[in-house]
Amino acid sequence: MKVEETKLKDCFIIRDTVFEDPRGYFFESFNQQRFASNIGLNVSFVQDNQSKSTRGVLRGIHFQQGEHAQAKLVRVLEGRVLDVAVDLRKNSRTFGQWETVELTGDNHVQFFVPRGFGHGFVVLSDTATFFYKCDNFYNKASEGGIIYNDADLNIDWQIKESEVLLSDKDKILPTFNEIKNSLNF
């Protein structure tokens, strides 16, 4: 397991050793002891989620606040996505900054997004199967979000605006400026 720090504190890119031969490949995608030792954080995952989406589908930027905040360990099983984490911790030196990572079914890269971050991704291939672990259960009353094309965040989603496909819920998310004073992490 090779762990790379990002510019965002406690947000890590994880590259596991992949063993390939003519039959295919094998890698250990998660091991609690190795994860805790390499990340330096005690995280206990309680829920796995998976989605399949077509090109241009953008899911996010989502988060849960308060006691229901979630850390996530994300990866792509098939296809290619641009994954985005936004630091929403008011006391962080990187508050309001973001990081992107390309995750593919071929590169087997994982991205750890700690509690206190907004998270989203956009599908860059024809389809993609996205998988993630959460360390807290979903709670609708604690969910929040930021509109993906927020002018202050100015995230480069690496896709044309005309190709972006959003859920009705994601189309009406507030801006970063509208929610930044009410964040509770």
**Amino acid type, 116:** G
Is 132 tagged catalytic? yes
Chain center to CA of 120: 5
Q: In what order do the strands lie in the sheet with 127-134?
A: 2-5, 12-15, 109-113, 72-78, 127-134, 47-54
| Residue of 62, 108, 119, 138 marked catalytic | 62
| Residue of 108, 119, 132, 148 marked catalytic | 132
| Residue that is written with structure tokens 């509690």 in the block | 115
Element (H, E) at 118: strand 117-123
**DSSP annotation of 53:** E
Q: Which tokens belong to 148?
A: 């993906």
Question: How buried is residue 117: exposed, middle or buried, by Cβ count under 10 Å (0-12/13-18/19+)?
Answer: buried
If DSSP codes are grouped into helix, strand and coil, which group holds residue 178? Answer: helix
If DSSP codes are grouped into helix, strand and coil, which group holds residue 121? Answer: strand
The two counts, helices (H) then strands (E), for the chain are 3, 13
Is 119 tagged catalytic? no
Active site residues: 62, 132
